[in-house]
Amino acid sequence: MDVKIEEGWKNVLFNEFSKPYFQQAVTFVKTEKAQGKTIYPPGSLIFNAFNTTPFDTIKVVLLGQDPYHGYGQAHGLSFSVPDGVSPPPSLINIFKELHNDIGMAIPKTGDLTYWARQGVLLLNSVLTVRANEAASHAKIGWMEFTNAVISKISEGKEGVVFLLWGKFAQEKQVLVDETKHLVLKAAHPSPFSAHNGFFGCKHFSKTNNYLTKQGLTPIDWRISK
């Protein structure tokens, strides 16, 4: 299967594209579209995280669950929304923690593409969703694919920071070799759980301290606009 994805990722994930689970996921999405169902994000953005953050550039993995299911919100980057779309509550809480941690001004846009271009892989565990139906594509095969992605990053790179927020993301910890990577865990930034340990986690400064010790350029967490 010829998947339109950044060349470095294509080389790393080549074997996954021919596996039954991946073909099943792609067929499922195409079938739902043919039935007239609205799927997010748009087809051209399903692999946006990979195309914006090539494998060779990864410094940080920020793991989300599945795409936003409201109109115009999802664009293939976890927690991010396109410029002009109001930041959802979890993203607002991320910005609050950034402000408290490093003093960053609260941005007016929720588009995190600038992070992705610096090496922050904004990866959702599930890559598509049916409009207005959260987790509607959670069991079609995407999870196997993104588990393979996490494993490939763990095996093929060193000194990556994995940000695991909430129970769902933390279940992926077993896929990461912690002898050569840093795993940072906290509560999910959702309004329902952010006060249980997300606020005050200081993951952004901790990430940059670790990257600096690796001799890498830290992430500029500021967002334009």
- Check whether 143 has a pLDDT greater than 90: yes
> Model confidence over 26-55: pLDDT tens digits?
999 999 999 999 999 999 999 999 999 999
pLDDT(113) > 60: yes
- Give 151-178 pLDDT, tens digit per residue: 999 999 999 999 999 999 999 999 999 9
* Separation between Cα atoms, residue 76 and residue 46, nearest integer Å: 5
Catalytic residue list:
66
| Spatial separation of the C-alpha atoms in residues 13 and 50, rounded to whole Å | 11
Share of the chain above pLDDT 90, in %: 96
Q: Where are the alpha helices (DSSP H) in the chain?
A: 7-17, 20-34, 48-52, 89-102, 113-117, 142-156, 167-170, 203-213
pTM here is 0.97
